Amino acid sequence: MKKLIRKLITKFTLQTPSILKNVKNNFDLYDVSYEDKTSLNNKIDFKILEKLNIRQRTFGNLNEDKIFYVIKRTPGTGMFSNITFILNHLKICKKYNFIPIIDMENFSTIYNESIKFKNNFNAWNYYFDNLNEYSLSEVYNSKHVLITDNKFFHFFSYNIDKDNELIELLNTKIKINKYMSKCYLRALKKFKNKKILGIHFRGTSYKRSPGHPLPATKKQMYEMTNKLLKNYHIDKIFLVTEERNYLDFFKKKYGEKLIYLKSSYRSNKNDAFKIYPRNLHRYKLGREAIIEAMLLSSCKYFIYLCSNVSSAAIGYNIEKNQQRFEIDNGFNSKNIILSQFYWYIKKILPKKFGGI
């Protein structure tokens, strides 16, 4: 039974890609000294550090009057799960006046390339500007450095769009870089002077993810789409999905009315982070997720199911008068075995027997 459970977990859940399995940190944290609590003259509420499983570290004697707060999540998960994690830590930095630093160089993520890219090893800089003027080199020669745990704590906010402070931080602190801005604006040209219906149609692993919202079926999404097409003067449908079957389904049903990012990786398997099918694949996965979320946020109408991407799209709120339509199927079982079949059972059951 234990072997069966391990096989199921390996087959259906997000795994650390092989490219990262043998990666070690670029420095040994255990070679640095820990700070005495009294040295900061009560600048830190140490209860919060214990709650977050954080210890102070000293790397050098620079910036004795500053407290750096290194945010790391290695190897991390989906792009907007990582960003939600970062935003929760930015709330802490704001409250305690820590200087936030995002380190995806020494603490690699599933989006890191194995080579230097865009003159950088820090995957954060593939997509975003730094939060401040301090370099990693300066931070790791400084007196007072806090480094986060990888854990997504139960007291964190899980949905960006449900937390006004996270929304504010997303739009004021997390700034895409110039290249990403050009990519977004270039894709946005297809939206000009058109009423666009944005659709986020999750598939693949979301059907089996324990404790996650149950995704929509083709029937649900098709019926909702047709209803909106009938009731509103919609020019185009912008589809975001990681499942190839779903894209093919919408292409067959809506033809030239459908637009989508052709470059985005799609598969009928949960393999986006397990294989490397194209040049700069991991970087491109992150780029596509960010651009697609911003484009969804730019649509006049939006059909979605609760997910990190949809939550971010709502949080960006680029189209201020966006009309939103949520499909709520409840949540998958938290049991790792039952969760692998629960959505498929609910899909075929009649509604009066608990089906979707």
- The string of pLDDT tens digits covering residues 74-119 is 999 999 999 999 999 999 999 999 999 999 999 999 999 988 988 8
Cis peptide before 75 (omega within 30 of 0): yes
pLDDT class of 39 with cuts at 50, 70, 90: low
- For residue 71, what pLDDT is reported? 96
**Tens of pLDDT, residues 270-320:** 899 989 999 999 999 999 999 999 999 999 999 999 999 999 999 999 999
pLDDT at residue 329 tops 90: yes
- For residue 299, what pLDDT is reported? 98
Tokens for 57, please give them: 């570290």
**Tens of pLDDT, residues 140-176:** 999 999 999 999 999 999 999 999 999 999 999 999 9
SS3 301: strand
The CATH number given to 186-353 is 3.40.50.11350
CA-based nearest residue to 309, from 15, 13, 82, 130: 82
- For residue 300, what pLDDT is reported? 97
**Tens of pLDDT, residues 164-213:** 999 999 999 999 999 999 999 999 999 999 999 999 999 998 999 999 99
- For residue 118, what pLDDT is reported? 83
CA 12 to chain centroid, in Å, comes to 19
d(CA 258, CA 221): 14
HEC letters along 101-133: EECCCCCCCCCCCCCCECCECCCHHHHECCCCC
Delimiting residues of CATH 3.40.50.11350 domain(s) in the chain: 186-353
